[in-house]
Amino acid sequence: MAGIIVNQGRITDIEGAIKLCPFNAIEDNNGVVEINAACKLCMICVKKGPEGAFVFQEDEKIEIDKSKWTGVAVYVDHLEGEIHPVTLELIGKAKELAAKINHPVYAVFIGKEVKDKAEELLHYGVDEVFVYDNPELKDFRIEPYTAAFEDFIEKVQPSIVLVGATTLGRSLAPRVAARFKTGLTADCTILDVKENTDLVQIRPAFGGNIMAQIITPNHRPQFATVRYKIFNAPEKIDTFDGKITLCELPQERFESKINVLKIKQKELEENISDAEVIIVAGRGIKKEKDLEMINELAHALGAQVAVTRPLIEAGWGDPRKQIGLSGRTVRPKLIITCGVSGAVQFKAGMLNSEYIFAINEDPSAPIFDVAHYGIVGDIYEVIPSLLEKIKSI
Amino acid sequence: MEIVVCIKQVPGTTEVKVDEKGNLIRDGIDSKMNPYDLYAVETALKIKEEQGAKVKVITMGPPQSETVIREAFMMGADDGYLLTDRKFAGADVLATAYALAQGVEKGGKPQLIICGKQTTDGDTAQVGPEMAEYLGIPHVANVKKIVELKEDSIVVEIDMPNTLETVEVQYPCLITVEKGIFQPRLPSYKLKKATKDKGIAYLSLKDLNDQDEKQYGNSGSPTQVERIFPPEANTDHEKWTGGGKELGEKMFVKLSELKFV
Ligand SMILES: Cc1cc2nc3c(=O)[nH]c(=O)nc-3n(C[C@H](O)[C@H](O)[C@H](O)COP(=O)(O)OP(=O)(O)OC[C@H]3O[C@@H](n4cnc5c(N)ncnc54)[C@H](O)[C@@H]3O)c2cc1C
Ligand SMILES: Nc1ncnc2c1ncn2[C@@H]1O[C@H](COP(=O)(O)O)[C@@H](O)[C@H]1O
């Protein structure tokens, strides 16, 4: 079994040895140092402990024949045939990966009346689309969808399978991965591939501010899910030479213990907590009318507008758009604060944003402590200049 | 009826950091129940109140994870299982799901298994569906509402991006529940006292049906962590000064670089 072996003789300071582990996995059992079930195999004790005290013992590897698995496959996420854009982004990444190892790009399209929609995918450079089109596949039910996916994998034997981390993808991908008893890495933010076709999967890990590089060295296919808007969609091309293959499944494979009773359209209300880009207006805005400039910037960046509390109090904004301790917490990819001082109550609601741009004329404003890009300047000059540049493209 | 709820102990905060050399650093070791799992426990208790059920909780983790089982007892859970063994350490999603499925089977044949939507440390939302596959039962993820409890099925509402779907699933099945399905109750002092000495079933590898070490922990994990490192983004703290026009142009360049325009 793989794990850490403890060489008792090499440990002189038991107390110190226990402290090595950030997960409390090293125990003192009446003078015998042991590793408990909390071990995450992070290797800190191996690297930082006394020489030879903690040693990583690997399993004997059963090598698989990786050459039997070829192709980078993308699951086509769709709603009644309407293809979710994450699919195209994954096709873009699949093409990049496939080019490095000289593999084809596949797509697997499961649903009802989806045949005619498959051609669109060829315009993005997919070599072969495998279509499972059956009335039984109208609604997403886990067993029939898994059965179709399983059939595809058995037939095609792809090396890599990419699935969008949508609500549906997050339910389907683990089910299929478990059926093949293979690895699945969720929410990858970076993907690459090694010469030996091992997929290099990078994602945030251990719940903290850490990235992990993960591989699936001895199993195929290699499953990864990726969220929407992580990768770029490829350009659409007019000509193509990929093809469409229709696949059938015996009726009994569609059996399900799930019965979809009702599907109700949701009213789509804007929610700043879901926004990927947010522009925040603070008290640096002098008049209500000046919010137009903010709205224009938001429009140009596909963003939602949020505000600080004083603007709510002034009646210039909808309370649902307030960020902060007494408002909403947001975690967008990009947030641009305009004339916001950065009070603790405000910062509490937006600290985890991926990129924080702050425009404020006061160089000592506390917002600059959390901003990745602090722009010391007047919003009434900076924003029009930025807008002009955006419009010029 | 019998319900099993999967709960996990997670770090209290995201205090895990990594230094330049890629080593993990962690200050406190404050732990708590995965917040999403509180909703799973509450859902089970609501069903118990509605029609009577035996609610069991199960967790896989180091011995100190007992705390979360005690917490579930204080909320009203009837039984607790702790899957703990050094051989379970270093498990990825597949090995975790396998061990949990084995543990669930050991404890009987529940009609309903409830998982949280995701954990705050693993954060994959995948353990539930993989467990369902191993147990050979259907699953429904993102359950937002329990609509009806029937004799041999449960009717639930699921939250899809653009739609709300009402589906009926036959028992036995597994559901993962959304945050907010019910407001989780606070642990009760009365139950705390009453369950202080309540036994918890410890399950190690030798208690499971499948005792092949290769299926568990790091050995049973197809995915391997090759390295860990600090994230690149977010460490920049630049401050720009200059004329307004120039600053606007500089912003434009940076936003283009980051692909926002
Ligand atoms: C219990 C409690 C809860 C609270 N909850 C919240 C909350 O949820 N959300 C919230 O927002 N607040 C909350 N507050 C209020 C908070 O303390 C601050 O008062 C508020 O966030 C300040 O908003 P502001 O930054 O827009 O305004 P100010 O603090 O007035 O800052 C305006 C900033 O704009 C800059 N500025 C002015 N003119 C320009 C210009 N032309 N160009 C560039 N910069 C300019 C100034 O230098 C200044 O830094 C809470 C307070 C309490 C006590
Ligand atoms: N070690 C574990 N013990 C018990 N339940 C778990 C464990 N890991 C995950 N789960 C369950 O699976 C759900 C999803 O976890 P994750 O896939 O890690 O996001 C959690 O909300 C729990 O219900």
Output the DSSP codes for B171-209.
Answer: SSEEEEE-TTSSPPPPPPHHHHHHTTT---EEE-GGGSS
Q: Which atom of ligand 2 is nearest to the CA of B127?
A: 17
**Residue of chain B with shortest Cα separation from A168:** B160
C-beta of residue B41 within 8 angstroms of C-beta of residue B7: yes
pLDDT digits (tens, 9 = 90+) for B190-218: 999 999 999 999 999 999 999 999 999 98
Locate A275 and state its tokens.
Answer: 């926004």
- According to DSSP, residue A113 is labeled S
Domain count, chain B: 1
Locate B163 and state its tokens.
Answer: 């739609």
Clarify whether residues A233 and A298 are in a common domain. Answer: no
Q: Which of A162, A152, A171 is nearest to A228 (CA)?
A: A162
Clarify whether residues A37 and A83 are in a common domain. Answer: no
Clarify whether residues A77 and A171 are in a common domain. Answer: yes
> Is residue A266 one of the residues assigned to a domain?
no
pLDDT digits (tens, 9 = 90+) for A142-199: 999 999 999 999 999 999 999 999 999 999 999 999 999 999 999 898 999 999 999 9
Q: Is B90 left (phi over 0), alpha (psi -120 to 50) or beta?
A: left
Q: What is the pTM of this model?
A: 0.78
Cα-Cα-Cα-Cα torsion A192, A193, A195, A196, nearest 10 degrees, comes to 150
pLDDT digits (tens, 9 = 90+) for A220-264: 999 999 988 778 889 999 888 899 999 999 999 999 999 999 999
> Is residue A264 one of the residues assigned to a domain?
no
Clarify whether residues A105 and A222 are in a common domain. Answer: yes
Element at A42 (helix H, strand E): none
Is the distance from the beta carbon of residue A285 to the nearest atom of ligand 1 less than 6 Å?
no
Domain residues for B103? 2-215
| Percentage of the residues of chain A whose pLDDT score is greater than 90 | 70
Clarify whether residues A73 and A121 are in a common domain. Answer: yes
Q: What is the mean pLDDT of residues A294-306?
A: 95
Clarify whether residues A127 and A244 are in a common domain. Answer: yes
Bridge partners of A80? none
Query: Shortest CB distance from A354 goes to which of B94, B165, B233?
Result: B233
Q: Which of B64, B60, B140 is nearest to B92 (CA)?
A: B60
Q: Which of B155, B147, B158, B153 is nearest to B170 (CA)?
A: B153
pLDDT digits (tens, 9 = 90+) for B91-119: 999 999 999 999 999 988 899 999 999 98
Query: Shortest CB distance from A37 goes to which of B62, B223, B230?
Result: B62
Domain residues for A48? 3-57
Q: Which of A235, A239, A190 is nearest to A215 (CA)?
A: A190
Indicate the pLDDT class of residue B233, thresholds 50, 70 and 90: very low
Which residues of chain A does B97 touch, with a Cβ-Cβ cutoff of 8 Å? 174, 178
**For residue A116, what pLDDT is reported?**
92
Which residues of chain A does B90 touch, with a Cβ-Cβ cutoff of 8 Å? 2-3, 39-41
Locate A122 and state its tokens.
Answer: 């060829």
Q: What is the mean pLDDT of residues A288-294?
A: 96
Looking at this predicted complex, what is its ipTM? Answer: 0.80
Q: How many angstroms separate the CA atoms of A296 and A384, rounded?
A: 10
> CATH number, domain at A93?
3.40.50.620
Q: How many angstroms separate the CA atoms of A35 and B27, rounded?
A: 19
What residues of chain A, 307 to 336, have a C-beta less than 8 Å from chain B? 333-334
Q: How many angstroms separate the CA atoms of A249 and A257, rounded?
A: 18
**For residue A393, what pLDDT is reported?**
82
Clarify whether residues A118 and A50 are in a common domain. Answer: no
> Is residue A146 one of the residues assigned to a domain?
yes
Cα-Cα-Cα-Cα torsion B241, B244, B245, B248, nearest 10 degrees, comes to 70
> Is residue A156 one of the residues assigned to a domain?
yes
**For residue B19, what pLDDT is reported?**
60
Domain count, chain A: 3
* Mean pLDDT, rounded, of chain A: 92
Clarify whether residues A115 and A217 are in a common domain. Answer: yes
> CATH number, domain at B137?
3.40.50.620
